[in-house]
Amino acid sequence: MIKCHLSKLMGERKLKIVDVARETGVNRGTITRLYHETASRVELETIDALCRFLGCDVGELFEFVEGS
C-alpha cells in the first residue's frame, strides 16, 4: 500500500488545501483526494508540483507500507 503524507506536510506548514491548489496549479479535488488518501492514481506532474512547492522528496510525500 502507498501512504500519502500530504496532510502531515501541510499541517506542519499550516497550509490549507485551497492555498496548495492555488500555488501549485493542481486541481483542488486532486489535492483533497491526496490529503484524505482516497486518490487511486496521481499524475507525475502533480507529484513534481507538490514536491517543488513543499520542498520535499517523493519519499517524504509517499511511503510504501508493507502488507497493508
Secondary structure element (H or E) that encloses residue 35, with its range: helix 28-35
Looking at residue 67, its pLDDT comes to 78
- pLDDT exceeds 80 at position 11: yes
Does 3.30.479.10 match the CATH number of domain 2-64?
no
User: The whole model's pTM is what?
Assistant: 0.93
- pLDDT exceeds 90 at position 2: yes
Taking only the tens place, the pLDDT of each residue in 18-62 is 999 999 999 999 999 999 999 999 999 999 999 999 999 999 999
Structure confidence at residue 68 as a pLDDT band (50, 70, 90): low
Each domain of the chain, given as residue ranges in start order, spans 2-64
Longest dimension (CA), the chain: 35
- pLDDT exceeds 90 at position 9: yes
